[in-house]
Amino acid sequence: MAVENITITPATLVAALVAAVLIAVVIAVTAVFVSRSVSHSVSRSVSRSLGQSSEHAADRSQAAVTGYLESQSQALNSRLEQFASTIGEFDARRREESAVIAVKVDDLTASSRAVAEEARAVAGAMSDNQARGHWGEMQLERVLRLSGLEEHISYNTQVSVDGGRSRPDALVHLPSGRCVVIDAKTPLDSYLAAVSAADPAERDHHFANHARAVGEHIKSLASRNYDEVVPGAIDVVIVFLPSDSLLAEAYRSQPDLLDRALAGRIALASPSTLLAHLRGVALGWREQRIADDAQTIAQLGRELHHRTTTFVGHVSALGASLTRAVDAYNKAVGSLERSVLPQARRFEQLGAGSTRTLPTVDPIDQQPRSISA
């Protein structure tokens, strides 16, 4: 025989304690009553058998029995008071916990209502085609920013082409000078109906309609021939679905959807797959910048080398000129010492000199340092 699990709640515990107290009270009263009845019966029997001589001893026995019973009654009363105190504590704690639980239940109810209202608001907003389009464009811009591309440099949004007759949601520029056309689509009617459907057959029916809606978008974009109207566009257009589940359910309902899209030169992408592709484009741009910087550095190096060579030539010519000037100076000093100063000193010896003394002119022994490095 199986034993059922019994859950003990605070109310059950309180009821059990009250019952125990009542039983203990009944037992105590009964014990007092029986003890007194027995004592009186014993007293009467002893009195009849022993007479007046043993009456005093019977009174002492009765007093002893009565004292013992009273002491036990006091102990029982003390226990009953402790039980009553414990029961009061349990009851107060139960009331506090009940109040806390009531507050939590109210908060949970309010939160559930708020979530339900927000869900209804979102569902209502998504029923508007314009709101869906804005949501898809916002998701696309978010993925573009997360990829590391720079707006107006690596990509542009809402660019009018073909004389304003077409306006793709984004043009992603490639380092080679080409570009990739991205168009965001948000087919949500059948998808939302499938998500809210309780019957599996009905859900599959709505998902099949969702896949057909994606296929219609593929046909529409394939007919626009963006590679012919957008300068430098590659021959593949990316259709961006703003949720991974939108693309996954479309593939699940129509497994050949990918082949039909590629046949029309259309690539289907969700936020996760598009982010991976755009990260590759951003890496290409970084490598292109590194290559451009390397070319710029090489050009600056060549210009610096040319200018350094010219400047060294000027310094070398200046050194040569200084060398020639030193040689000419030394020759002039030698001629001065040999031909001019001896005659001038003769004037001083003959007394025909001036008050000033002829200075000494020394030749220059140092030569300009040549450039050896």
Q: Is 133 inside any structural domain?
A: yes
Rounded to 5 degrees, φ, ψ at 90 are -60, -40
pLDDT of residue 298: 92
pLDDT of residue 128: 62
**Range list of H helices, the chain:** 10-50, 55-126, 129-146, 189-196, 200-222, 226-229, 244-253, 257-263, 271-335, 341-349
Q: Is 245 inside any structural domain?
A: yes
Q: Is 21 inside any structural domain?
A: yes
Which of 122, 145, 163 is where one domain is finished? 122
> Distance (Å, rounded) from C-alpha 136 to C-alpha 138?
5
Is 69 found in the same domain as 46? yes
Instruction: Check residues 351 and 281 and name the one with the higher pLDDT.
Output: 281
Lowest-confidence segment of 24-38, 62-76, 229-243, 278-292 by average pLDDT: 24-38
| Burial class of residue 300, CB neighbours in 10 A (0-12, 13-18, 19+) | exposed
Mean pLDDT score, 46-59: 54
Which residues touch 273 (CB under 8 Å, ≥6 apart)? 247
CA angle 105, 107, 112 (to 5 degrees): 95
Is 99 found in the same domain as 161? no
> Distance (Å, rounded) from C-alpha 198 to C-alpha 207?
13
Q: Which long-range CB contacts under 8 A does 308-313 form with residues at least 24 apart?
A: 312/371
Is 157 found in the same domain as 94? no
pLDDT of residue 32: 54
pLDDT of 173-218, one tens digit each?
A: 998 888 999 988 888 888 888 887 888 888 889 888 888 888 888 8
Is 166 found in the same domain as 17? no
Is 274 found in the same domain as 135? yes
Q: Which long-range CB contacts under 8 A does 221-230 form with residues at least 24 apart?
A: 221/183, 221/264, 221/266, 222/264, 222/265, 222/266, 224/166, 226/161, 226/166, 226/168, 226/181, 227/181, 227/265, 229/161, 229/162, 229/166, 230/161, 230/162, 230/168, 230/171, 230/179, 230/181
Looking at residue 93, its amino acid is R
Which of 235, 252, 286 is where one domain is finished? 286
Q: Is the per-residue pLDDT at 284 higher than 50?
A: yes
Beta bridge partners of 237: 181, 266
Q: Are 183 and 238 in contact (CB under 8 A)?
A: yes
Q: Are 237 and 267 in contact (CB under 8 A)?
A: yes
**pLDDT band with cut points at 50, 70 and 90 for residue 172:** very high
pLDDT of residue 334: 85
pLDDT of residue 302: 92
Is 141 found in the same domain as 282? yes
Instruction: Check residues 328 and 359 and name the one with the higher pLDDT.
Output: 328
Is 282 found in the same domain as 146? yes
pLDDT of residue 31: 56
Mean pLDDT score, 236-251: 89
Beta bridge partners of 180: 172
Pairing label, strands 266-269, 233-240: parallel
> Distance (Å, rounded) from C-alpha 113 to C-alpha 300?
68
Q: Are 39 and 20 in contact (CB under 8 A)?
A: no
Q: Are 186 and 295 in contact (CB under 8 A)?
A: no
- Structure tokens, 86: 């414990």
Q: Is the per-residue pLDDT at 233 higher than 90?
A: no
Looking at the structure of the chain, the number of domains it has is 2
Q: Are 210 and 241 in contact (CB under 8 A)?
A: no
Lowest-confidence segment of 73-82, 243-252, 349-358 by average pLDDT: 349-358
> Distance (Å, rounded) from C-alpha 342 to C-alpha 362?
15
Is 189 found in the same domain as 104? no
Pairing label, strands 179-184, 233-240: parallel
Q: Is the per-residue pLDDT at 5 higher than 50?
A: no
Range of the domain at 77: 10-50+59-122
pLDDT of residue 297: 93
Q: Give the orientation angle of helix 244-253 with respect to helix 200-222, to 10 degrees.
A: 100
- Percent over 90 (pLDDT), the chain: 8
Which of 84, 106, 122 is where one domain is finished? 122
Is 265 found in the same domain as 237? yes
pLDDT of 121-171, one tens digit each?
A: 555 555 566 777 788 888 889 999 998 888 888 888 888 777 667 788 889
The model's pTM is 0.53
| Burial class of residue 342, CB neighbours in 10 A (0-12, 13-18, 19+) | exposed
Which residues touch 252 (CB under 8 Å, ≥6 apart)? 207
Q: Is 261 inside any structural domain?
A: yes
Q: Is the per-residue pLDDT at 238 higher than 60?
A: yes
Q: Is 139 inside any structural domain?
A: yes
Q: Is the per-residue pLDDT at 288 higher than 50?
A: yes
**pLDDT band with cut points at 50, 70 and 90 for residue 3:** very low
Is 201 found in the same domain as 107? no
Q: Is the per-residue pLDDT at 62 higher than 80?
A: no
Which residue, 120, 113, 183, 173, is CA-closest to 147? 173
**pLDDT band with cut points at 50, 70 and 90 for residue 4:** very low
Instruction: Check residues 6 and 70 and name the one with the higher pLDDT.
Output: 70
Beta bridge partners of 151: 155
Mean pLDDT score, 234-254: 88
Is 259 found in the same domain as 154? yes
> Distance (Å, rounded) from C-alpha 90 to C-alpha 98?
12
**pLDDT band with cut points at 50, 70 and 90 for residue 92:** confident
Which residues touch 71 (CB under 8 Å, ≥6 apart)? none
pLDDT of residue 301: 92
**pLDDT band with cut points at 50, 70 and 90 for residue 294:** very high
pLDDT of residue 50: 46
